[in-house]
Chain A
C-alpha cells in the first residue's frame, strides 16, 4: 500500500526567504506526482504535475523535483510572500488512484 509522508507538518518562515517542502512515498511505481495548494475552507488548487519520466517542473517561483528511485519529491518556493501561506499537499498517482500526504501548513511571516 502506498504511503505518502510530508515533513514538517507546519513551517513558519520570514517573508522573502526561499524554502523547501518535502514529500516522500514508499512505492516508487508511480506515474505522476502532483503538488497542490489548499487555502483554509477551500478546495485544492493544482500547482505542478511531474510525470514519472521527468525530474522537475517549474512554474514562476515554484520548482518541483522528483526522484522516483529514492521515493522523494521537493517543492521549492523562491522569495516567499505572505500570499504563499497555505497548506501544501503532494499526491502520487498510480494504479488509477491518488494517494495524498497529510500536508505541510506554511506560514509566511511579513
Chain B
C-alpha cells in the first residue's frame, strides 16, 4: 500500500468554523489531489498540486483552499465550514500527471467531516 496518511480521520465541526485536513505521503510523488465523495455525485476533484507551491482548482473548488509547502504534505482548508461541505474527503497521489506508463493513482483512507 502507498504511504498516505490523512488526518483527522473523523471530525465534527460547527458551521462557520475553519477546518484543515492534512494529507501526508511518504512516496515522494509529485502530484497530490483532494477529492470529495458524496452519494449520487461520486468522487469530485476539489484541488490538486503538481509540485511544491504549485496548485490548481478542480471542479468543486469554491469554499476550499489548499497549500503545499513540502512535497510530502498537502493541506485542504475550509475557511468557513458550511453544511454542504459535510462529506468524505480523500487525498490521492501519483508519480506523474496524465501521462507516463504505469501512472497509478493511490488513495488515502479518507476523512469523514460533519458540519453541524
Q: Could you list which residues of chain A lie within 8 angstroms of chain B, going by C-beta atoms?
A: 31-32, 34, 36, 42-46, 49, 51, 89, 91, 93-98, 100-103
Q: Which residue of A lies closest to B40 (CB)?
A: A102
Residues of A within 8 A of B45 (CB): 97-98
Question: What band does the interface of chain B fall in when counting residues whose beta carbon is under 8 Å from A?
Answer: 20 to 34
By secondary structure, the A interface counts as strand
Residues of B within 8 A of A93 (CB): 98, 103, 105
Q: Could you list which residues of chain B lie within 8 angstroms of chain A, going by C-beta atoms?
A: 31, 33, 40-45, 48, 50, 56, 58, 90, 92, 97-110
Residues of A within 8 A of B31 (CB): 96
Q: Which residue of B lies closest to A54 (CB)?
A: B101
Distance A98 CA – B48 CA, assembled complex (angstroms) = 11
Nearest 10 interchain pairs by C-beta: A102-B42, A44-B107, A100-B43, A96-B97, A43-B109, A31-B98, A43-B107, A100-B42, A49-B104, A96-B98
Residues of B within 8 A of A43 (CB): 90, 107-110
Contact B48 A32 (CB under 8 A): no
Residues of B within 8 A of A45 (CB): 107
Residues of B within 8 A of A97 (CB): 33, 45, 48, 58, 98
Residue from B42, B50, B110 in contact with A96 in the complex, judged by beta carbons closer than 8 Å: B50
Q: Which residue of B lies closest to A95 (CB)?
A: B98
List 17 interface pairs A-B (beta carbons < 8 Å), by A numbering.
A31-B98, A31-B103, A34-B104, A43-B90, A43-B107, A43-B109, A44-B92, A46-B106, A49-B104, A51-B102, A89-B43, A95-B98, A96-B97, A97-B58, A98-B33, A100-B42, A101-B42
